[in-house]
Amino acid sequence: MKEQLNFKIELISPEQVIAVRQPVLRKGKPIEACIFDGDDLPTTFHVGIFINGSLVGVVSFMENKHPLFEEENQYQLRGMAVLESYQFKGLGYEILKYGESLLIKKGIKMCWCNAREIAVDFYRKNNYTIKGDPFLIPEIGIHYVIHKNLQ
Ligand SMILES: CC(C)(COP(=O)(O)OP(=O)(O)OC[C@H]1O[C@@H](n2cnc3c(N)ncnc32)[C@H](O)[C@@H]1OP(=O)(O)O)[C@@H](O)C(=O)NCCC(=O)NCCS
**Residue 80 burial (CB < 10 Å; 0-12/13-18/19+)?**
buried
Q: Residue 99 sits in which domain range?
A: 8-149
> Does 43 fall in a domain?
yes
Residue 130 lies in a domain: yes
Q: Is 78 helix (H, G, I), strand (E, B) or coil?
A: strand
Domain CATH number, residue 77 = 3.40.630.30
Q: Residue 3: what pLDDT? A: 67
Query: In angstroms, rounded to a whole number, what is the distance separating the alpha carbons of residues 134 and 85?
Result: 29
Q: How confident is the model at residue 139 (pLDDT cuts 50, 70, 90)?
A: confident
Count: domains in the chain: 1
Q: Is residue 110 part of a domain?
A: yes
**119 Cα: distance to centroid of ligand 1 (angstroms):** 6
pLDDT score of 1 more than 80 = no
Q: Judge whether 3 lies within some domain.
A: no
Rounded Cα gap, residues 4 and 103, in angstroms: 27
Residue 132 lies in a domain: yes
1 belongs to a structural domain: no
- 21 in a structural domain: yes
Q: Which of 95, 88, 85 is nearest to 17 (CA)?
A: 95
Distance CA 96, CA 91 (A): 9
Residue-level pLDDT at 2: 61
Residue with CA nearest ligand 1 atom 34: 125
pLDDT value of position 118: 96
Closest-lying ligand 1 atom to the alpha carbon of residue 114: 48
CA-123 nearest atom, ligand 1:
16
**Within the chain, where are the H helices?**
14-25, 91-105, 120-125
Task: Spell out which residues line ligand 1, taking CB within 6 angstroms.
Answer: 24-25, 80-82, 87-93, 115-116, 118-119, 121-122, 125
Using the predicted structure, report yes or no on whether residue 114 has a pLDDT greater than 60: yes
**CA end-to-end span of the chain:** 24
